[in-house]
Structure 1
Amino acid sequence: STIVGIEESIQEILLNLKEIVLRSNLYGVRDASICVKGPRYITAQDIILPPSVEIVDTTQPIANLRESIDFCIELQIKRDRGYHTELRKNSQDGSYPIDAVSMPVRNVNYSIFSCGNGNEKHEILFLEIWTNGSLTPKEALYEASRNLIDLFLPFLHAEEERASFEENKNRFTPPLLTFQKRFTNLKKNKKGIPLNCIFIDQLELPSRTYNCLKRANIHTLLDLLSKTEEDLMRIDSFCMEDGKLIWDTLEKHLPMDLPKNKFLL
């Protein structure tokens, strides 16, 4: 459709507005407007913009007013990326959505050159970047580099988390050894300690460790030394600290030659 006194159709005016390149560092919707009186040519320079937005090429044509008419329109501007399609909204009469192409990078060329002396070889990457002015080539390279880093960071973090998990696993998982060697040492002891007559109550263990052993039906030293460290770690709420406390207690109160640091924290 056309408007009396204007050379271009509404569709042509919308296409001209679509070609205007804007520059801004802020996101969100910004309001702008055009209000002029003909006859005259209307260019991007006639757009009244907020301070946070600037026009790259102010000579971009918008419309040609042939008669003495008022031309007033309101614009809504927002920053986006890629190709964005606007659906026609019926909530406000007289509004015309514009499909925007937010692709500031027009073209990119690259070349790689080898250099160096002897066995030392180096490669130099040359980049040529053309933009529409809404971003400088340097800003476009920075933005692309940051997006690329953000794309691969989850993989790096996953690998670091896996490595940390393996490290902690190796650090805290008890060795799958048994108390059998200690049991043998006790039997060989000259004093002949009756293991089935030594109750865990006598070891003066912390109440938490004591309750864990009781729940597992471990009542005597014989019951305790019949278990492997793996068996103990399966007990509900039993942890490495409990194992270390038990081992320290045995080492302190019983006359036997115990290996050192079997439980590592």
Structure 2
Amino acid sequence: MDDELKYDPINYDNNIYDTPNFFIQEEISRHEKRDSIYGDYFISNIPQTLGTTYGTVIRQALLNWVPTTCIAYFYIPKTLLHGYRSMSGIRENIADIAQNLSKIIIQNDDLSLVSSEGFLNVSVGVDEESKEVLGRDIELPAGMQIINLDEYLFTINPDTEVNFRLLIEVKTHADLSYQKQEDPGEIVKEPDPAYNFDITPEEKAKIEGIKLAEILAEIEKQPARIATGATFQAVFNANFTVQVFVLHPNFTENFEKIRISFFTNGSCTPRIAINEACKNLSNKFSRLTGKLEILDKRDQEYLAKQEALKSYKPLSEVKVEDLPVQGSKKLSTPSKPKKKTIKGDSLPESNRKIHLEALKLSARSYNCLKRANIHTVGQLLGYSRGDLLKLKNFGRKSADEVAKVLQGLGFSLK
């Protein structure tokens, strides 16, 4: 840590977590003048050679998968726009205002919210002096508060009134990779329910019988939506180190210990950050096991397409007599031919010599069969399901797997 940065320790009642697999120790300190919070996590009892893998995955999760609350867009009346990059009555241009709004740090008690609205209403009279607008002038919904209240936003001139509507969103840094990159100060078009943007104003005027000037005036009344270019990244400067140590003299295997250190911008504590990061990391891997109950829209569409494809038959299986007669409403689907299963006694000698490697079984099933001196299909078909269950570490799932693989090849157990 830099010598210029002095951090005071934050006292927690439980800063040590002892789990069956890991030993986790936590050290957190806050900067005296800045809003950032420093967190140090020591994770022990990690099997050797896995420390670097764990550290890399947790670091990437901290940098990309921590939900962060930021001001994503702000809406201003188009009448305030003077040209394209400046606003009447405000010294800064649109890009500078957008960048300053993106620096606002918001602490949010409910990270499940997708979006909400805030407001920035400031006015200066004719006889008053110019005023600096700061972060404390922003009005946020309940459950949110601004950490950097003295953050400078812009300066307004006398006889000026500013009314901004702010769109506050909760995203992760990884979510930005799924959408178009928007530069700070970029005016973004947003479809409004009162106007159909799928057709041109000229076509709308012709269809609805309205004057073109009225439609253009209606569009002009809509506020301009301007992107702030927020990065939605609450964690920065995340690093890790790995150290090998001997857990106990009687243990033959050494273990590793990793130290993960990072900063948060103050919108959340390091404990919340690492909790949310590992929670999202767990959800990513749970997709592989099929245990994730809540699927996003892309997963639902994919599963719906896969389910629809099951109702289609290959053209080679459709016969002429199965095609619908003219006037019929339903298409009779041909019955699927049943596979003939071959018992072990009637199995040809060439198939008896097929090795178990060709069946592509799981490692658990394959190793159990090998330990029982079962090396070929012919030897395997000499066993019944009950005989297989008597093998050591060979359970029902392994028996179901073997029976399913053999059935797919047209074989069956004894």
In structure 1, the partner of 2:121 is 35
Equivalent position of 1:99 in the other structure: 229
Measure how far apart 1:59 and its partner are: 1.4
Aligned residues: 177
Counterpart of 1:6 (choices 90, 98, 105) is 90
* RMSD of Structure 2 on Structure 1 (CA): 3.4
Specify which of 263, 267, 270 is matched with residue 130 of structure 1: 263
CA distances 1:208-248 after superposition (whole Å, capped 9, x unpaired): xxxxxxxxxxxxxxxxxxxxxx6xx9xxxxxxxxxxxxxxx
Give the deviation of 1:114 after TM superposition.
Answer: 2.9
Amino acid at match of 1:45: R
Offset at residue 123 of structure 1 (A): 2.4
Instruction: Tell me what 2:188 maps to.
Output: 88
User: How far, CA to CA, are the matches of 2:223 and 2:117 in structure 1?
Assistant: 18
In 2, Cα distance between equivalents of 1:19 and 1:99 = 10
Q: What residue identity is the alignment partner of 1:35?
A: N
Partner of 1:55: 146
Q: Matched residues in 2 for 1:139 and 1:15: separation? A: 26
In structure 1, runs of 5+ residues without a counterpart are 174-229, 234-261
Q: Contact 1:5–1:65 at 8 Å: present in 2 too?
A: yes
Question: What's the CA shift for 1:115?
Answer: 3.0
- The residue identity in structure 2 corresponding to 1:10 is I
- Return the offset for 1:96: 1.8
CA distance 1:148–1:96, change in 2 (3 Å): closer
Select the structure that is richer in helix.
Answer: 1
1:85-234 to 2 correspondences below 5 Å: 85=181, 88-89=188-189, 91=192, 92-116=222-246, 117-120=248-251, 121-156=254-289, 165-168=397-400
Q: Which amino acid aligns with 1:81?
A: T
Flag the structure with more relative contact order, 1 or 2, with Cα contacts below 8 A and sequence separation at least 6. 2
Question: What residue identity is the alignment partner of 1:134?
Answer: S
Q: Which amino acid aligns with 1:37?
A: S
Indicate the structure (1 or 2) with the bigger Cα radius of gyration. 1
Q: Given that residues 99 and 229 in structure 2 are in contact (C-alpha distance below 8 angstroms), is that contact kept between their aligned partners in structure 1? A: no
Q: Mind listing any 5+ residue stretches in structure 2 that lack a counterpart? A: 1-84, 125-129, 193-221, 292-361, 366-394, 406-411
Partner SS for 1:168: helix
Q: Which residue of 2 aligns with 1:225?
A: none
1:61 aligned partner, one-letter code: Y
2:105 corresponds to 1:21: yes
Distance of aligned partners of 1:172 and 1:32 in 2 relative to their CA distance in 1, 3 Å threshold:
closer
Paired residue type of 1:43: L
Conservation of the 8 A alpha-carbon contact between 1:7 and 1:64: yes
Alignment check: 8 A CA contact 1:36 1:72 kept: yes
Aligned 8 A contact 1:26 1:52 in 2:
no
Superposition TM-score, scaled by structure 1 size: 0.56
- In the alignment, is the contact (CA less than 8 A) between 1:6 and 1:67 conserved in 2? no
2:188–2:224 contact (8 Å) kept in structure 1 = no
Identity of aligned residues (%): 22
The one-letter amino acid of 2:104's match is I
- TM-score for both structures, normalised by structure 2: 0.37
